Amino acid sequence: MGSRFLFPGAFHILGAVRARWILLTIFLIGVALRATVWAELRGDAEFHQLVGDSARYVEWSDDIARGDYLSRREGVFYQAPLYPYFLAAHRWVFGEWALSAVRVTQILLGGAGAVMLAAGALLWVGARGAWTAGLLLAGLPSAVFFDLQIDKASLDGFLTCAILLAIVQFQQAPASRWLFLVGLLIGALTLSRENAVALLAVVLAMAWLGGRSKKVGPGNLRQWGFPLAALLGFALVVLPVSLRNKLIGGEFHLVTCQFGPNFFIGNGAAADGVYRPLRAGRGDPQFERSDAIELAEAAEQRKLTPREVSAYWTRRALGDIAETPARWAGLTARKALLVFHETEIADNNDIYTQSAGSWALWCLRSVHGQTIVLLAGVLGAFAGWTRRQSVWPVFACITVMTAAVAGFYLFARYRFCIAPMMLLACSLVWVRDRGPLEILSVRGLACTASCILLFAVANAAWVLPERQRGVAEYNYALACERRALPAAAMRAYRDAIARNPRLTEARNNLGLLYASESNYSAAVTEFTAVIEARPNDAVARNNLGMALGGQGKLQAAAVEFERAVLLDPNYTVARENLRKARDRAAAPILPTLLNERKRGANDVD
């Protein structure tokens, strides 16, 4: 009975038995993939390491579980509150097993999200569309990855799928209950991802048009009934948080007060499309709010309220935009491309590191990813053109959320909620009147050309900011090294260097791997390239000296060790190697691996 209530159209179209079989199969596949990856990673120390926002959410949820139910210590919310309360609920129920329970819940939600997407496709085009949309989301590597992280992206994906299903239900059979549900769900998503409030514009437009075609009440309620239902659902979820901000912090904020700093980071003069802390080296969440306040108050020379802090950073961003509008236009275009780029830009744990410890996740990442998501959405847009009057809200949601994400800055998890929208659109390739997609038709040729162009752009290194080029491959290489997979690490380092020849960390570490296998000639080449880019790098000088020593060129090695010591008089390893070279030690100098040069994605300059 419950499934018939949630998916009435799907059961009507296919019949109860077949619809249940399709949806249950998709659910089980989604859950099985996530459970498999979890089983592979459970013994991995990196998988359990909580950093950045993940650690902050756990700390916050502990405060809530201990009795700070209104999060008074937070003042006006600076980060979205839904996920910490989600964690706190698991803490109350499961105690010390809370984090494992959270992952189980998120695995189930991931499977349920794929089911809801499949149900929406069932309503649109039938069984083939349901299989397409549901399986693409069930096996989407980023979806599998986020459902296993202590991170709100999992909730974002689930809520997005629920919103899409309710929108499709409304388009199939307009009724105020669907709009009320959509309002509730958008409100919940806004409490997790603040820019999701932009989806309300699409829903209100859909509601207004729906009210024109269906009488929903007497007199003037004919036009206003549907939009009011959506607004009521949204207000019931969000308004209590806004009132809580007023009560605790003394100011009315819809959800959080971080619009200004985030807008500046994404659009200020130094912006390149990816997160950059307001103070260099202080990207941890514990500094974000305090730095924004301190810098704003120092500039204004007075104490500021949260609203005034946000306004200060907004004015600075708008000032930078007005001063160099061409730069900002190019930056915005780049961010729009980054929304659909194949690279998953990480801020906490990243998919590349963890795929080194999970064969299943590595396989998924090898065959599926953001390029497939992009091409799926494009194919759906061309195929669904003849049905644009009924399917336009989903494409409007894609457009609005792309703008909402590109208006700030990019991380992989920020764009994740767009993926289910694109995959639902993909189900339209199975519409029966798909004649315009015939390859020799004008629309078919346009679709083919668009796919080829977008495939190239989605995989182009130039779209990424320079400091992010090659970082994904570099992080994967580090993870392979930690797991004693030198051959895979070498391949990944070479891929990173191909993407970004200036990524000296990758060259240095590749040189160390070559040296560890006694390939000193190749090691010398890599260390020399590092020194050409960074002449004052004492570690690279020492490493070059060790490689030269491995070749038996002790005099040349001593020169490099001496230069390393001159650059860093406290560098004891180089000083000891210099002594050995001068004493002409009996055995050749063997390379010493230096872990301090192996840095993660967020540390690469």
User: Which range (71-80, 458-467, 477-486, 593-602) has the least confidence?
Assistant: 593-602
User: Which range (139-148, 390-399, 540-549) has the least confidence?
Assistant: 540-549
Question: Do residues 126 and 144 share a domain?
Answer: yes
pLDDT per position as a tens digit, 308-354? 999 999 999 999 999 999 999 999 999 999 999 999 998 877 899 88
What's residue 438's pLDDT?
A: 61
pLDDT per position as a tens digit, 514-524? 988 889 889 99
Q: At what angle do helices 418-426 and 98-125 cross, to 10 degrees?
A: 30
What's residue 484's pLDDT?
A: 86
Q: Is the pLDDT of residue 597 over 50?
A: no
430 in any annotated domain: yes
What's residue 222's pLDDT?
A: 55
Select the highest-mean-pLDDT range: 47-51, 300-304, 428-432.
300-304
547 in any annotated domain: yes
Question: Do residues 311 and 349 share a domain?
Answer: no
Mean pLDDT of the 587-602 span: 42
Token code pair at residue 150:
């202590």
Question: Do residues 183 and 323 share a domain?
Answer: no
481 in any annotated domain: no
pLDDT per position as a tens digit, 232-286? 999 999 999 999 999 998 899 999 999 999 999 999 999 999 998 998 878 777 7
Question: Do residues 367 and 425 share a domain?
Answer: yes
Q: Which domain holds residue 56?
A: 2-255+341-458
Q: Is the pLDDT of residue 593 over 70?
A: no
Can you tell me the distance from the alpha carbon of 167 to that of 202, in angstroms, rounded to the nearest whole number? Answer: 10
What's residue 51's pLDDT?
A: 84
Can you tell me the distance from the alpha carbon of 303 to that of 317, in angstroms, rounded to the nearest whole number? Answer: 21
- Label residue 159 by pLDDT band (50, 70, 90): very high
- Label residue 554 by pLDDT band (50, 70, 90): confident
Mean pLDDT of the 507-529 span: 90
Task: Please report, rounded to a whole number, the percentage of residues in the chain having pLDDT higher than 70.
Answer: 90
What's residue 7's pLDDT?
A: 55
Question: Do residues 34 and 120 share a domain?
Answer: yes
Domain boundary pick from 408, 430, 458: 458
Q: Is the pLDDT of residue 169 over 70?
A: yes
What's residue 237's pLDDT?
A: 97
474 in any annotated domain: no
What's residue 587's pLDDT?
A: 46
471 in any annotated domain: no
What's residue 232's pLDDT?
A: 95
User: Which range (122-131, 337-346, 560-569, 572-581) has the least confidence?
Assistant: 572-581
- Label residue 605 by pLDDT band (50, 70, 90): very low
Q: What letter would DSSP give residue 61?
A: H
Better-scored residue on pLDDT, 446 or 425: 425
What's residue 598's pLDDT?
A: 43
258, 74 contact by CB (below 8 A)? no
What's residue 440's pLDDT?
A: 53
Task: Please report, rounded to a whole number, the percentage of residues in the chain having pLDDT higher than 90.
Answer: 56
Q: Is the pLDDT of residue 546 over 90?
A: no
The total number of structural domains in the chain stands at 3
Estimate to the nearest angstrom the gap between the alpha carbon of 87 and the chain centroid. 20
What's residue 281's pLDDT?
A: 79
- Label residue 596 by pLDDT band (50, 70, 90): very low
Question: Do residues 47 and 154 share a domain?
Answer: yes
- Label residue 12 by pLDDT band (50, 70, 90): low
Can you tell me the distance from the alpha carbon of 254 to that of 246, in angstroms, rounded to the nearest whole number? Answer: 10
Spell out the alpha helix ranges (H) of 139-220: 141-146, 153-172, 176-190, 199-213
What average pLDDT does the chain have? 87
Instruction: State residue 217 phi and psi, 5-degree precision.
Output: 175, 170
Question: Do residues 415 and 324 share a domain?
Answer: no
Question: Do residues 383 and 318 share a domain?
Answer: no
470 in any annotated domain: no
- Label residue 592 by pLDDT band (50, 70, 90): very low
Q: Is the pLDDT of residue 28 over 60?
A: yes
Instruction: State residue 475 phi and psi, 5-degree precision.
Output: -65, -40
* CATH code for position 529: 1.25.40.10
**Three-class HEC string of 87-123:** HHHHHHHHHHHHHHHHHHHHHHHHHHHHHHHHHHHHH
Domain boundary pick from 328, 349, 368: 328
Question: Do residues 244 and 273 share a domain?
Answer: no
Domain boundary pick from 458, 481, 509: 458
Mean pLDDT of the 433-447 span: 65
Token code pair at residue 200:
């309300």
**pTM attached to this predicted model:** 0.87
Q: Is the pLDDT of residue 594 over 50?
A: no
DSSP string, 292-342: HHHHHHHHHTS---HHHHHHHHHHHHHHHHHH-HHHHHHHHHHHHHHTT-S
- Label residue 201 by pLDDT band (50, 70, 90): very high
What's residue 584's pLDDT?
A: 61
Question: Do residues 186 and 72 share a domain?
Answer: yes
Better-scored residue on pLDDT, 101 or 16: 101
Question: Do residues 250 and 156 share a domain?
Answer: yes
477 in any annotated domain: no
User: Which range (219-228, 430-439, 476-485, 569-578) has the least confidence?
Assistant: 430-439
Question: Do residues 77 and 190 share a domain?
Answer: yes
Can you tell me the distance from the alpha carbon of 115 to that of 165, in angstroms, rounded to the nearest whole number? Answer: 10
Q: Is the pLDDT of residue 218 over 80?
A: no
Better-scored residue on pLDDT, 604 or 192: 192
Which residue type is seen at 498?
Answer: A
468 in any annotated domain: no
